[in-house]
């Protein structure tokens, strides 16, 4: 069952019923000011940091869910309704919500009155614009009252939701005609406030929540709206809100538009005040002036659309399969940008109050957006590397505002260092910019400890010289990619963090997954050494990699698949000798991606075992059989009920590893089958089962052992976005950046007979036409570049070529 449809010509998903199984959201903003917006107008706004600089309040865990947003109450002939259906839930005559790239449009109608709301954050500004248009489609005049509504957050979202003894006293606003300023804490240490304005004369305003709603009422039936008259009350403490009342008289066929702006204003300390306790409004006035006509708002909207068209033009695919094209050209890349902007902070599953930037998560996110915004990727790499310790280990997380490491979580996640090599090597392959390796980058954020980035990569790799276990495999530390495989934790106290508890980081427990990474990213590091003249070092690195390869194919091989790990007692995890958790997905994907066992036939065996034991109709589960009881020696993984999250859920992040691994051994049909199983455009038809947005990847889909098999959770902020895009663009479609140029080596299903990929790369535009009339799955038979035949699959890079025509025959 579906709740809408894709409109590829506009790059939108059009939701046609407000009663989606879960709120289906979109993101507004691509620089500093961001908003979440659901298909019923719910969500909230923040500036840079969702925890510390939250402009509007959101209620979590509420009933009904998705409570609080930017709302417009339209009162027409005694009937009150919202264009987004919530919060009144008045049945609408028509409804649609179009989620587009950086904007959302509601189009609804009731009793011959049509309303549309266009919500977006303009490029280059710190505000959300809501353009509201009303049109009388009836045959008599209409006298309409409009009430807008937002609820302010007192900036720090955690404090706002907990520190009531203080916060109910601090709320302050200032008012001007058509403008409400939220200035809580501005009198003391803040030099920022929120401004909320509308570009038309208002009939009144409200700023105190209880006065607006009425005692014991909710946004679903505000008293002021019921009575039809704003109170002009100036909030003092309690809960400040922003609401305007507007009155419109519309003749048949007539329409009117208003522009509402919610903005963030920061003043230099010395320019905070106009007079005692009167805030300096100059910047706010300037902002409101930038959008004080519908024409100006429309120009800003157009600029936003152009921004996205231009950005997503960097990699485009034309082929017969519409679903594949829309994911590659629109939604997958869009989600990669959202993970760049949000990391793991703010979604409808991540509260925006918790996690900072993850070392491992952000490094992997890079893989998905480096081709779109290479300059920002460069900055991100430097930020991440600056939180590394001198011994090569790293803070697991850092704060987005201060960019310093998070002491509470500390370090000890032994996969982290290698992800830095992964991200940096992806950046250099994309850009050819080796100069980043000479960039001086601090250790532990201490400038005095700065060393060239190359030294950081070296220490990432060499970290494992002293971090190998009894089987000569890499030590796991607190956890590797699988945050829930906590082999040194042994927690039996409720509430303890599985990730930070433990007697030590453990001298025994080993990870075959990290060993696979060591081989893959060790080789990539050696490539960088060779390209920068460090040939001796490259040789040493390759020798160490070869030893690890050997350890993986011996101690790390279980007969039919790769072992997952060895625990603190050196017992295998993810082996046929285990009672539960006999086979895990991660080492099969990572080891084969690293090329381990391809020649020996182990790779194919491992992938066949994945198909036989882990595959389901909705995707590949993380492990089998699931853990039925809590294992002290394994940690959080066994804390989840079977089929959820890391305990045998379909963890979408690692499905593309298996798909990529299949391309390594040339099985294009299988690679594509795996790709499709978790791909939103292909699962749209089962939206009632899947429940999450059909245009975004979710972190997890409940596995076959769960009661709700096939149900997705944690949509949007997941490494799945980056890895699925890496998979489909570089391995299935096969257009892959290499240090020396661009590789064209598709591994596709035999049903794709023809495709054209347009790829911007280091200033050139490659138009790559692939002819697969033969119905092959892998292997280029012949390739010409601007009419000249070349050997192999690598198009050597030459600068300033303009458009390069590539013809490849499979
Ligand atoms: C979450 C974490 C990520 C981890 C994954 C598997 O998505 O953000 O760091 O790798 O879970 O445990
Ligand atoms: C929990 C989740 C895991 C996530 C981690 C982040 O362990 O199961 O997916 O990575 O929290 O701290």
Q: Which of 716, 719, 720 to mutate to test the pocket of ligand 1 (most atoms within 8 A of CB)?
A: 719
Q: Each residue of 239-253: pLDDT tens digit? A: 999 999 999 999 999
CA–CA dist 775, 810 (Å, integer):
8
pTM, two decimals, is: 0.98
Distances (CA, A) of 271 to 11, 266, 278, 290: 43, 10, 11, 21
Q: Is any ligand 1 atom within 6 A of the Cβ of residue 690?
A: no
CA–CA dist 94, 705 (Å, integer):
40
Closest CA to 240 of 195, 279, 270: 195
Residue in the block written with tokens 């902002």: 287
CA–CA dist 474, 65 (Å, integer):
45
Q: Which residue's CA is minimally distant from atom 11 of ligand 1?
A: 483
Closest CA to 301 of 96, 70, 118: 118
Q: What share of the chain is helix, strand, coil (3-state, %, to 5)?
A: 30, 30, 40
- For residue 503, pLDDT over 80 is answered with no
Beta strand ranges found along 178-314 (DSSP E): 179-182, 192-198, 204-208, 240-250, 255-266, 273-275, 278-279
Atom of ligand 1 nearest to the CA of 699: 7
Q: Is any ligand 1 atom within 6 A of the Cβ of residue 361?
A: yes
Q: Each residue of 584-633: pLDDT tens digit? A: 999 999 999 999 999 999 999 999 999 999 999 999 999 999 999 999 99
* pLDDT on residue 220: 97
User: Which pair of tokens denotes residue 772?
Assistant: 């697969």
CA–CA dist 611, 483 (Å, integer):
24
CA–CA dist 53, 47 (Å, integer):
5
Nearest ligand, measured from the Cα of 697: 1
Active-site hit among 160, 483, 527, 705: 483
* pLDDT on residue 547: 98
Catalytic residue list contains 483: yes
Q: Each residue of 761-791: pLDDT tens digit? A: 999 999 999 999 999 999 999 999 999 999 9
Which residues partner with 540 through β-bridges? none
Q: By mean pLDDT, which of 60-69, 162-171, 199-208, 480-489 is the weakest?
A: 60-69
Residue in the block written with tokens 């090597």: 425
- For residue 61, pLDDT over 70 is answered with yes
Atom of ligand 1 nearest to the CA of 714: 7
* pLDDT on residue 408: 85
Atom of ligand 2 nearest to the CA of 498: 7
Q: Which of 397, 478, 481 to mutate to test the pocket of ligand 1 (most atoms within 8 A of CB)?
A: 481
Q: Residue 544, CB half-sphere, CA atoms under 13 Å: how many? A: 24
Q: Each residue of 451-472: pLDDT tens digit? A: 999 999 999 999 999 999 999 9
Query: Rounded mean pLDDT of the chain?
Result: 97
- For residue 48, pLDDT over 70 is answered with yes
Q: Each residue of 278-308: pLDDT tens digit? A: 999 999 999 999 999 999 999 999 999 999 9
Q: What are phi and psi of 13, to 5 degrees?
A: -110, 130
User: Which pair of tokens denotes residue 605?
Assistant: 């065996």
Distances (CA, A) of 644 to 23, 140, 494: 21, 56, 20
Q: Quick one: how far is CA 211 from the chain centroid?
A: 38
Q: Each residue of 389-418: pLDDT tens digit? A: 999 999 999 988 888 888 888 899 999 999
* pLDDT on residue 587: 98
CA angle in degrees (0–180, nearest 5) for 127-304-55 = 20
Quote the ligand 1 centre to 646 CA distance (angstroms). 9
- For residue 504, pLDDT over 70 is answered with no
Quote the ligand 1 centre to 660 CA distance (angstroms). 19
Closest CA to 485 of 474, 471, 468, 498: 498
User: Which pair of tokens denotes residue 619?
Assistant: 């995707």
Atom of ligand 2 nearest to the CA of 645: 8
Cβ atoms within 10 Å of 507's Cβ, excluding its own: 12
Q: Which residue's CA is minimally distant from atom 10 of ligand 2?
A: 483
Cβ atoms within 10 Å of 612's Cβ, excluding its own: 12
């Amino acid at each position: 069952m579906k709740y809408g449809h894709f409109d590829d010509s506009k790059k939108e998903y059009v939701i046609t019923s407000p009663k989606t199984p879960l709120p289906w959201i979109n993101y507004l903003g691509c620089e500093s000011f961001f908003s979440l917006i659901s298909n019923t107008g719910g969500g909230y706004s923040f500036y840079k940091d969702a925890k510390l600089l939250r402009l509007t309040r959101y209620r979590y865990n509420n009933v009904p869910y998705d409570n609080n947003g930017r709302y417009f109450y339209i009162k027409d002939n005694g009937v009150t309704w919202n264009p987004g259906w919530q919060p009144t839930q008045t049945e609408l005559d028509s409804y649609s919500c179009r989620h587009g790239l950086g904007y959302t449009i509601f189009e609804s109608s009731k009793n011959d009155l049509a309303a549309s709301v266009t919500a977006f954050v303009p490029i280059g500004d710190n505000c959300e614009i809501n353009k509201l248009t009303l049109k009388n489609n009836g045959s008599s005049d209409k006298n309409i009252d409009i009430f807008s509504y937002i609820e302010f957050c007192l900036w720090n979202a955690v404090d706002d939701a907990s520190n009531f003894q203080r916060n109910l006293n601090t709320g302050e606003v200032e008012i001007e005609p058509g403008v409400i300023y939220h200035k809580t804490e501005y009198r003391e240490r803040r030099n920022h406030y929120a401004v909320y304005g509308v570009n038309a004369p208002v009939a009144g305003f409200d700023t105190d929540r209880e006065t607006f709603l009425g005692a014991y009422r909710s946004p679903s039936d505000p008293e002021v709206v019921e009575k039809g008259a704003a109170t002009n009350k100036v909030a003092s403490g309690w809960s400040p809100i922003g609401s305007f009342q507007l009155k419109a008289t519309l003749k048949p066929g007539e329409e009117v538009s208003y522009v509402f702006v919610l903005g963030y204003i920061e003043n230099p300390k010395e320019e905070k005040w106009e007079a005692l306790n009167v805030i300096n409004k100059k910047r706010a006035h300037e902002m409101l002036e930038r959008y004080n006509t519908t024409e100006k708002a429309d120009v800003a909207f157009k600029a936003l659309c152009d921004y996205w068209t231009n950005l997503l033009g960097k990699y485009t695919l034309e082929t017969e399969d519409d679903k594949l094209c829309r994911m590659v050209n629109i939604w997958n890349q869009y989600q990669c940008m959202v993970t760049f902007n949000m990391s793991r902070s703010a979604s409808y599953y991540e509260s925006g109050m918790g996690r900072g930037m993850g070392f491992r998560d952000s490094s992997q996110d890079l893989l998905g957006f480096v081709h779109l915004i290479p300059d920002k990727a460069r900055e991100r790499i430097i930020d991440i590397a600056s939180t590394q310790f001198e011994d090569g280990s790293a803070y697991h997380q850092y704060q987005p505002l201060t960019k310093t490491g998070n002491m509470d979580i500390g370090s000890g996640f032994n996969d982290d260092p290698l992800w830095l090599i992964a991200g940096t090597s992806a950046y250099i392959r994309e850009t050819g910019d080796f100069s980043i390796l000479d960039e001086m980058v601090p250790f532990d954020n201490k400038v005095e400890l700065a060393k060239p980035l190359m030294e950081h990569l070296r220490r990432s790799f060499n970290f494992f010289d002293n971090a190998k276990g009894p089987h000569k495999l890499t030590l796991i530390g607190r956890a590797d990619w699988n945050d829930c495989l906590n082999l040194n934790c042994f927690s039996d106290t409720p509430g303890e963090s599985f990730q930070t508890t433990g007697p030590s980081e453990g001298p025994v427990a080993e990870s075959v997954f990290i060993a696979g990474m060591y081989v893959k990213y060790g080789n990539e590091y050696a490539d960088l050494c060779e390209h920068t003249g460090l040939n001796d070092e490259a040789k040493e690195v390759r020798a160490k990699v070869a030893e690890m390869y050997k350890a993986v194919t011996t101690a790390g091989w279980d007969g039919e698949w790769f072992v997952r790990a060895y625990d603190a007692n050196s017992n295998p995890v993810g082996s046929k000798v285990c009672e539960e958790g006999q086979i895990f997905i991660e080492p099969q994907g990572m080891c084969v991606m690293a090329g381990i066992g391809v020649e020996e036939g182990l790779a194919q065996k491992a992938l066949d075992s994945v198909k036989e034991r882990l595959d389901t109709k909705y995707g590949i589960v993380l492990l089998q059989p699931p853990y039925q009881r809590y294992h002290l020696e394994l940690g959080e993984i066994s804390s989840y009920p079977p089929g959820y999250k890391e305990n045998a859920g379909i963890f979408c992040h690692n499905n593309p590893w298996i798909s990529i691994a299949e391309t390594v051994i040339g099985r294009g049909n299988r690679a594509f089958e795996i790709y499709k199983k978790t791909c939103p455009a292909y699962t749209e038809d089962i939206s009632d089962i899947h429940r999450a947005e059909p245009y975004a990847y979710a972190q997890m889909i409940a596995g076959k052992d769960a009661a709700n098999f096939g149900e997705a959770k944690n949509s949007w902020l997941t490494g799945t976005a980056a890895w699925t895009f890496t998979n489909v663009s570089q391995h299935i479609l096969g257009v892959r950046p290499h240090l020396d140029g661009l590789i064209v080596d598709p591994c596709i299903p035999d049903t794709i007979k023809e495709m054209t990929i347009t790829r911007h790369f280091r200033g050139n535009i490659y138009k790559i036409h692939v002819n697969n009339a033969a119905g092959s799955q892998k292997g280029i038979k012949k390739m010409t570049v601007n009419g000249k035949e070349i050997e192999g699959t690598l198009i050597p890079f030459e600068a300033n070529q303009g458009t390069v025509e590539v013809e490849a025959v499979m």
